[in-house]
Amino acid sequence: MAHEITRPKAPPTPRAGTVAVDLAVIGALRTYVRAADAFYAAKQQMERAREALDVAAGGHQEATFNGQTAFRFDPRGRRDCDLDRLAERHKAAYADCVRESATYTLVIDAGWRQRLRQRAWRTAVRTDQAAAR
């Protein structure tokens, strides 16, 4: 198996200030909000289904239907690391292995999120525009 060599991502461009956007950008924001809502609804549905499957399996690893495996629970390993403790106790190892990076998180104003969930979102946005004038 070949190993792919990737370059580390460049740090994000620093952000500052405010920009006025047009209705097309607000449309993209609405698309994002609707997709996020659908994603979280699907995630909750998956979690409920997973719980039902876990209960149905009754502690067994594999479940069959008509003699064929329908689903199973395969073990997975995971490593957790206390980076603060590593930095405190093993400064050189922390400095050698841990790369700090900065990212930006999209935060949508609660009022805007509510407006964009409405059916008549364009009317709500245009009403806001008219009120601002």
Structure tokens at 82: 């206390």
Task: For the chain, give every domain's residue range.
Answer: 109-133
pLDDT value for 1: 46
CA dist., res. 37 & res. 33, Å (int) = 6
CA dist., res. 81 & res. 90, Å (int) = 13
* Mean per-residue pLDDT, 24-49: 95
Supply the pTM of this predicted model: 0.69
Q: Which residues contact 54 (CB under 8 A, 6 or more apart)?
A: 73
First to last CA, the chain: 62
Work out the percent of the chain whose per-residue pLDDT is above 70.
Answer: 87
More confident call, 13 vs 18:
18
pLDDT value for 127: 73
Note the pLDDT tens digit of each residue in 87-111.
Answer: 999 999 999 998 888 788 899 999 9
